[in-house]
Amino acid sequence: MAITELTLRLLLLFCPGIITKLLLEKLTEGSDKRHFYFILYSFLFGLFAYALYAMISWLINSLPFWQINSHLTFLDSLLKPNSTINFNEIIWVSILAIINGYILSFIKNKKFLHKIAQSLGVTEKFAEVDVWSYILNSENDAKQWIRVRDHEKNLCYEGWIEAFSETFKENELFIRDVKVYLNNTGAHLYNVSGMYVTRPNDDITLEFYALDES
């Protein structure tokens, strides 16, 4: 498929928004990767970055000892096909977009928006995409020690979770210091330093036997 001049212009102008969106996808869980939302969020993040750039430029120019060129050419480049693209502006806005991506990722990973909404009684929803992520992302360290019951193979694995998949759909676990037992009798079979576990959704049960109940 040929890339038109308009498409290339839009890609260049909204490169900052694309950068922020890509950082959010890499650094956070549950980011919507559908094409429509990728384009929409890239557009919104791009507009935000340009607006932030314009505000910072205005603030710098308000200082008596420091003046810079604060004319924002983004709208002209977007609305006027024959206008010249200001690459210096795109570079500076892209730097802001990287900073925005890290800040937004921090806010999302720390679940600040949901915590504020819950404290205000606005919602009881949690920030994770499903209960699997909610439990395994819990701030209670004791939750890391689990029993994984593999019903199909009649085995039970005890250990602590070092890594896990983003959603229950994949239900991948990497557990350490693993003790393996027969599920029906509890007989100890062997120990292993690490184990990768993934099973069909109806064949696995997780027991968090070390949860702090105080």
Using CB atoms within 10 Å of the CB of residue 17, give its burial: 0 to 12 exposed, 13 to 18 middle, 19+ buried. Answer: buried
Residue 164, pLDDT above cutoff 80: yes
Residue 214, pLDDT above cutoff 50: no
Judge if 186 and 111 occupy the same domain.
Answer: no
Domain count, the chain: 2
Judge if 64 and 158 occupy the same domain.
Answer: no
Provide the domain limits for residue 78: 5-116
pTM: 0.73
Judge if 104 and 135 occupy the same domain.
Answer: no
Q: What is the pLDDT of residues 173-191, one digit of tens each?
A: 999 999 999 999 999 999 9
Domain membership flag for residue 124: no
Domain membership flag for residue 193: yes
The average pLDDT across 19-42 equals 86
The average pLDDT across 136-165 equals 83
* Residue 204 CA: distances (Å) to CA of 112, 145, 149, 170, 211: 32, 16, 6, 12, 19
Question: What's the confidence (pLDDT) of residue 5?
Answer: 74
Judge if 110 and 12 occupy the same domain.
Answer: yes
Can you tell me the distance from the alpha carbon of 128 to that of 212, in angstroms, rounded to the nearest whole number? 21
Q: What is the pLDDT of residues 68-97, one digit of tens each?
A: 666 788 888 888 877 888 899 999 999 999
Pick the last residue of a domain from 116, 148, 174. Answer: 116
Judge if 28 and 103 occupy the same domain.
Answer: yes
Beta bridge partners of 150: 155, 204
Task: Give percent of the chain above pLDDT 70.
Answer: 89
